[in-house]
Chain A
Amino acid sequence: MDKVKKYLPYVFLGFLFILPLLPISSYYMHIFILCIMWSVIGMAWNLLSGYTGQVSFGHAAFFGMGAYSAGLIYFHLKINAWWGIPLSIITVLIFSLILGFIVLRLRGPYFALATLASGEILRITSENLTGFTQGDLGIMLEKRTWVDKTYYYYIILVFAIAVAFTIQRIVKSRWGYYFVAIRENQDAAESLGINTTLYKTIALSVSAVITGLAGAFYTNYMGYIDPKVVFALHDISIITIMVVMVGGVATYWGPTVGAIIMVLLAEIIRSNFKQLEAAHQTLFGVLLIVIIIFLPNGIVGDFDKIKKIFRFGGKS
C-alpha cells in the first residue's frame, strides 16, 4: 500500500503528460487547462493563507495584475503578450511589496478585509481608467498564438509542476517552519527570533507572483480580458479560497483536488442548469457550508474521515 502511495504521484504526472495524445475534444482540453490553472492559483493561496495563516480575500488583485501586464503591453506597445509573463513577475512583485507594507501590519479578519479591498480597488480603477485599460471594453488579443489547445496545456502543466515542486521545497525548509510558526502564534514566533514582518512579506510576494503568472497565462490563453473577469471578487478571489477549502487547507494535494472539483462543478452547473445563471453561486455557498461543518480540513485533510464514513456505510 505504501509503495502504491509513493508511486501514485508519478503515475498521475505521467497520465497528465500523455493526456493530449488521447482523442480528447477541445472542450475537455479547455476543462483540463482550467483545472491546472486553478490548482496553481490554489497552491499560491495555500502558501500565504494555508501555511502562513494570512487569509487573503484579494487574490484577484494579483491575478488581474498579471493578466493586465500581458494585456497592456500588447495593447499599447504591440509587444507579444507572452512577454507579459516575465513582466508580470516584476509588476506583481512590486505591487505585492507595496501592498504588504500596508496590509501586513493588520492581523486576522482585518488583513482579510484589507486584501478584499485591494482587489476591488484595482477592479474599479481599471474600469475607470478607460484611456489606459479600455475600461469595461477590455483588451482583446487579435490573434491567439495557437488554435490548438495542446500547447497551452503543456505550458500550464510544466508551470504547475514547477510551482508544486517549489512550494514543496519551501514548506519543508526554514521558510516553511517559520510560515507555520507565524500562523500558529505570531507573538511566540516573534520572540523565537523570527522576523515575522519579513517572512510574511516573503509569503505574500511568492504567493502573489505565482498568481500573477497564472493571470498572464490566462490573457494569452483566453485572448480577452476585462476588469469584471480578472479582478472579480466572486469569480477569482472567492473561488480561490473555495478551491483550497474544498481540497484541504495547508495540505500538499489540497489545491489540486479542490481545483478539479470546483472547475468540474462550475462547468456542470453552467452547462446543465443554464436557467440558474448567477444563482449557481448559491450552490457554492451551500457546498462551502457543508465542507466547513463536515470536513473542516478539506477532502485531502479529512481523507481518513471520508474513508471511515464509506467503510461504515458499506458494512451496514
Chain B
Amino acid sequence: MSLLKVENVSMFFGGLAALTDVSFEVNKGEIVALIGPNGAGKTTMFNCINGFYNPSRGKLLFNSEDISGKKPYQVCMKGMARTFQVVKPLQRMSVLDNVIASSFLRSKNKHEAEKNAMEVLELTGLVEDKDIISKGLPLGKRKRLEIARALATKPELLLLDESFAGLNPAELNQSIEIIRKIKEQGITILIIEHHMKVIMSISDRIVVLCYGQKIAEGTPSQIGNNPEVIEAYLGEAHA
C-alpha cells in the first residue's frame, strides 16, 4: 500500500523548472532513495513534500489525503518528519532539550515528552551527549541529532536529506545501523543520498532525478546497470 504518492509534481521558480512532472510512490515499510546529480531537484522535491513549497502543479497524497499546499507543521502533525541537508539544530539548547521540543508534539506533558526524548536519544546513540549545548556538537552528531529530532515527532514517514554526507567511515556504519533500526520500528523512509555504498546497501527501491525529471526507478541492481543513470552521473562516454 502506498503511504506517499507523488503525482505529476512540477515546481517552477520563475521560468526555471526545478521539477517537471515527477511521479513516484513510497510504500509502507520501504526505504526509498532519491538520487541524482547536483541540482537535480532532490531537495526541492523534499521541500514540496513537507510543505515548505507549494508545488506549481501536481498532487501529493499522504495516506490517501491530499497534502499539497499544507504548511510544514500541519504535514508534520499528519505523521511526516524531515531532516535538513544543512543541519538546523536549535543551537543554544541542549541536545536533550532539542529533542524534547519536538517530542512535545505527541506528548501530553513534559514528563512524557522527556521520556520519549530519552528513548529516541538511546536509539540514535546520543545519550551521553544529552546535556551538551548543540552548538558544540561535531557534524556527525549534529546529523544524528537531526534524525533524533525528526523521530521524536513519531512519524510514519521520515524524510532524510543527506544525513550521511560528511561522515567518516565509522560514523557512516553507525548511521546505517540506526537507519536499519528505524526501519525495524515500521517507519517508512525516503532518503536523499549521494553516498552509493549507503544507497546500495539500505534502499529497497531507488528513484533517479536529473534536471528535475525522473529518469529511472527500480531496485538497486536495476539502477546500477541502467545506462541512462550512468550517463547522467558519468557522462556519455561511459554509458
A residues sitting closer than 8 Å to B (CB atoms) are 172-174, 177-178, 180-181, 184-185, 187-196
Bound-state CA distance A173–B153 (Å) is 17
B222 at the interface (CB under 8 A from A): no
The residues of B that contact A187 with a CB separation of less than 8 Å are 52, 72, 84, 88
Whether A193 pairs with B102 at a CB distance below 8 angstroms is: yes
Please provide the chain B residues from 48 to 84 with a CB less than 8 Å away from any CB of chain A in the complex: 50, 52, 71-73, 76-77, 81-82, 84
Bound-state CA distance A184–B50 (Å) is 20
Besides A185-B89, A188-B84, A191-B50, 8 more A-B contacts (Cβ < 8 Å) are A188-B89, A191-B82, A193-B73, A193-B76, A193-B77, A193-B105, A194-B73, A195-B71
Count chain B CB atoms within 10 A of each CB in A173, A188, A191, A196 and give the residue with the most: A191
Whether B91 pairs with A192 at a CB distance below 8 angstroms is: no
B101 at the interface (CB under 8 A from A): yes
> With A181-B90, A185-B88, A185-B90 given, is the CB distance from A192 to B110 under 8 Å?
no
The residues of A that contact B72 with a CB separation of less than 8 Å are 187, 190-191
> With A190-B72, A192-B149, A193-B73 given, is the CB distance from A180 to B89 under 8 Å?
no
The residues of A that contact B30 with a CB separation of less than 8 Å are none
> With A174-B104, A184-B93, A185-B88 given, is the CB distance from A191 to B81 under 8 Å?
yes
Question: B169 CB to closest chain A CB, in angstroms?
Answer: 28
> With A180-B93, A185-B88 given, is the CB distance from A192 to B153 under 8 Å?
yes
B92 at the interface (CB under 8 A from A): yes
Closest residue to A190 on the B side, CB-wise? B72
B121 at the interface (CB under 8 A from A): no
B100 at the interface (CB under 8 A from A): yes
The residues of A that contact B71 with a CB separation of less than 8 Å are 190, 195
The residues of A that contact B149 with a CB separation of less than 8 Å are 188, 192
Bound-state CA distance A184–B89 (Å) is 8
Closest residue to A194 on the B side, CB-wise? B73
- Nearest 5 pairs of A and B residues by beta carbon: A193-B76, A184-B90, A188-B88, A192-B102, A193-B105
Partner of A184, one of B77, B92, B113: B92
- For chain B, the bracket of interface size reads 20 to 34
Bound-state CA distance A151–B162 (Å) is 63
* Total A-B residue contacts, Cβ distance less than 8 Å: 73
Count chain A CB atoms within 10 A of each CB in B71, B102, B105, B149 and give the residue with the most: B102
Bound-state CA distance A180–B102 (Å) is 12
Whether B81 pairs with A188 at a CB distance below 8 angstroms is: no
Partner of B101, one of A181, A190, A195, A196: A181
The residues of A that contact B91 with a CB separation of less than 8 Å are 184-185
The residues of B that contact A181 with a CB separation of less than 8 Å are 90, 93, 101-102
Bound-state CA distance A194–B81 (Å) is 12
Bound-state CA distance A128–B224 (Å) is 75
Closest residue to A175 on the B side, CB-wise? B104
Whether B110 pairs with A173 at a CB distance below 8 angstroms is: yes
Closest residue to B152 on the A side, CB-wise? A192
Whether A180 pairs with B101 at a CB distance below 8 angstroms is: yes
Closest residue to A173 on the B side, CB-wise? B110
Whether B76 pairs with A192 at a CB distance below 8 angstroms is: yes
B193 at the interface (CB under 8 A from A): no
Partner of B97, one of A177, A188, A191: A177
Count chain A CB atoms within 10 A of each CB in B82, B90, B91 and give the residue with the most: B90
Q: Mark B90-112, 1 if CB is under 8 A from A, else 0.
A: 11110001001110110000100
Whether B90 pairs with A191 at a CB distance below 8 angstroms is: no
> With A172-B110, A188-B90, A192-B149 given, is the CB distance from A177 to B76 under 8 Å?
no
Bound-state CA distance A188–B149 (Å) is 10
Bound-state CA distance A4–B40 (Å) is 61
The residues of A that contact B102 with a CB separation of less than 8 Å are 181, 192-193
Closest residue to A177 on the B side, CB-wise? B101
Partner of B100, one of A177, A185, A188, A189: A177
Closest residue to A192 on the B side, CB-wise? B102
Partner of B90, one of A173, A174, A180, A196: A180
The residues of B that contact A174 with a CB separation of less than 8 Å are 104, 110, 113
The residues of B that contact A196 with a CB separation of less than 8 Å are 73
Whether B73 pairs with A195 at a CB distance below 8 angstroms is: yes
The residues of B that contact A189 with a CB separation of less than 8 Å are 90, 101
Closest residue to B84 on the A side, CB-wise? A188
Partner of B104, one of A172, A177, A185: A177
